[in-house]
Chain A
Amino acid sequence: MNKEELKELQETAKRIRSLTIEEIGHLGVGHIGGAMSIVDILTLLYFRHMNVDPANPRKADRDILVLSKGHAGPALYATLAEKGFFPTSWLLTLNQGGTLLPSHCDRQKTPGIDMTTGSLGQGISAAVGYATGLQMDHTPATVYCIIGDGESNEGQVWEAAMFAAHRKLGNLIAFADWNGMQIDGLTKDVMNMEDIVAKWKAFGWEAEMVDGHDFEAMDAAISRAKARRTQEGARPTMIVLKTIKGKGCSFCEGLVTNHNMNYGIEQTKEALAALGTKARLIPALLNE
């Protein structure tokens, strides 16, 4: 990744953060914390790694993303809109009756969404099944999956982990958004997951932890996983992303109460100013 590419990714991520803040701010409530913490990985995947076509969301040889922490849907919608899967104006419909952008991801509603998620732990099972199906067909596509740290409390995550290692699903690259917080507090207080990288390694995965807001570090980790895939018997990869919940949203960054919070136009305006972006969605802010 050269400096220009890095700068472009950083600018793209900033636009997606800005859209995400407006999207939820317009509605007045939403899962802002866990959405903001994954914007950088979503940007890196959709703008550098994934083989997808916004004009043909279901094209046959595409790479797949399963957002197992489905409540972070708003960040993925902003990313898909920025990529051109649908107009950015759709973001103003988040969670309104009849919307194509429901709070949790729905493969039947949103162009570019590959799996319905929302009940934590289920998305990674489906991602593993997806990777199994693609492996049967010997396709070159990669399945990406993002789980949360709170989600990692779910037993189903570890059932899926065992299976993926047993089947040697080298076409599966998963990420854990390690922002250290869940609804009831710090993960270390609610349910201490101890050494998470050691856990994934013990389950038979390739695993490492990188800074989830460092594009070069994440890019290198993904490239390592892709390079391993060409080897016989390649294992699945877990890249644990050390992140900050609410990253880039001035009024909620690092707040333990930011999982699902209320905020409106004024705070949106304040956050956009701190981010250094202009409003693109909310009518009342467009001429500011």
Chain B
Amino acid sequence: MAEQKEMRAVYAETLTALADQGLEIVVVEADLMRANGTGAFAKKYPARTVNVGVAEANMVGIASGLSAAGKIPFAATFACFASRRAYDQFFLSANYAGLNVKLVGSDPGITAGFNGGTHMPFEDLALMRAVPKLAITEPSDPASLAAILKLAAETYGCFYIRLQRKPADMLYSAEEKFELGKAKVLKKGKDITLIALGAVMVQEAMRAAANLAAQGIEAAVIDALWLAPLDEATILEHCAFGKVITCENHRVTGGLGSAVAELIAEKAPGTQLARIGVGKDSFGEVGTPDWLADHFALTAPHIEKAALSLLGR
């Protein structure tokens, strides 16, 4: 089994390290510091830790004001609240105002698990993708999370960072370099391309690719990392195989599948596309992540089935 690390621990450690380097990081929270694990940062930088209580809209407004005052705020809450509840604040006070706010949505999609449908965002990426200039990322492992947090802190502008709190497999070494809007090709292939976003789906796609390989099918796997800017060059290069499957822990409307569908329609017509994700008419449900992944047809067998169907087998 691959080495794992808790993603929220990486979040707190990285922000602390960035503050140590002299960046004016401010951790902004809405009564989820225990969940997000930012106590370690607060211990070292109490004056730069701002807990607004259970008030997500205000959290984003305050982060915007902190940014206007020259700080680099990382505001975190569950992705359902970061997107649905504080959308107008993030849109206007942060993005439209041209400020430098990093909004972190934790527990995306099925990782909300036992919090159930009320807390299960399958639409946060769709909402965020409608915001001009916003960088949208879902790191897939501890190394990419650390590198992308650093990149976000050092790049002026708004970011939406989807964060799975729980442990994730190490996919990259600590030395791996990451760039804004650049995907990673995790596995080369020639028959079909799987484009996955986030730790859950990248791991399912890798599993599916291994199973397909056992049947003689060479599937490439792309870790998208960024929904915006989308790495069009890498994706289009892989459209040359003629068959693409997007894999997202999100509803199929408005997120990665939609973005790739738009790209294919405009720049690679003729490419066959299947979208793995939560159905367009489904809300979230309560259950274990494993049950939810199977219930919403996000697992490797579902990806394999879609691949075989596209390949006519």
Contacts and interface: CB of A to CB of B under 8 A. Distances in A.
B65 A159 contact: no
Interface of B: 26, 47-48, 50, 52-53, 55, 57-58, 60-71, 73, 88-89, 92-93, 96-98
Contacts of A106: 97
Interface of chain B: mostly helix, strand, loop or mixed: helix
A108 B64 contact: no
15 contacts: A107-B97, A118-B92, A119-B89, A122-B61, A122-B89, A124-B61, A125-B89, A126-B64, A126-B65, A132-B50, A133-B26, A133-B68, A155-B57, A159-B57, A167-B50
Interface in A81-130: 106-108, 114-116, 118-119, 121-122, 124-130
- Which of A136, A137, A166 has the most B CB atoms < 10 Å from its CB? A136
A136 B47 contact: yes
A249 interface: no
A80 to B, nearest CB: 17
Contacts of B47: 136
B52 A159 contact: yes
A209 interface: no
A19 B256 CA distance: 51
A127 B67 CA distance: 11
B259 to A, nearest CB: 27
A210 interface: no
Contacts of A166: 53
A159 B56 CA distance: 9
A220 to B, nearest CB: 28
A126 B62 contact: yes
Contacts of B65: 66, 115, 125-133
Interface residues of A, number: 32
A134 interface: yes
B69 A122 contact: no
B242 to A, nearest CB: 44
Contacts of A118: 92
Given A126-B64, A136-B26, A163-B58, A116 B96 contact: yes
A118 B71 CA distance: 23
A124 B58 CA distance: 9
A162 interface: yes
A78 interface: no
Given A107-B98, A116-B97, A125 B66 contact: no
Contacts of B88: 119, 122
A122 B55 CA distance: 13
Contacts of B58: 125, 128, 156, 159-160, 163
Contacts of B62: 125-126, 128-129, 132, 160, 163
B290 to A, nearest CB: 37
Contacts of B98: 107-108, 116
A159 B48 CA distance: 20
Contacts of A163: 52-53, 55, 58, 62
Contacts of B73: 129
B61 A126 contact: yes
A108 B97 CA distance: 7
A133 B93 contact: no
What are the 3 tightest A-B residue pairs by CB atom distance, in nearest-first order? A129-B65, A125-B61, A133-B69
Nearest to A126: B65
B33 to A, nearest CB: 15
B52 A122 contact: no
Given A132-B62, A156-B58, A125 B69 contact: no
